[in-house]
Amino acid sequence: MTDHVYKKIDLVGTSKESLEAAIQGAIGKASESVRNIDWFEVKEIRGWVKDGQVQHFQVALQAGFRLDD
């Protein structure tokens, strides 16, 4: 196994559908400009409620990407 060095970035994803969609959106968008994303960790979950119904999900997460060797 090769040793690696990682850097972490903070991301916030949002979705009207689900927490999973918010995470997928954040990772997908970050992957357009950041190479080697290998993992993520959810830090916070929030949402917006209107008239007793969840309207929007928001997920704050950290993603780790491997630095080039």
Pairing of the two strands 6-15 and 37-50: unpaired
pLDDT for position 69: 72
pTM, two decimal places: 0.89
Q: Which helix (H) or strand (E) holds 5?
A: none
The Cα–Cα gap between 56 and 1 comes to: 41
Structural domains in the chain plus CATH codes? 6-66 (3.30.1660.10)
- pLDDT for 1-56, tens place per residue? 578 899 999 999 999 999 999 999 999 999 999 999 999 999 999 999 999 999 99
Burial of 10 (0-12, 13-18, 19+ CB in 10 A): exposed
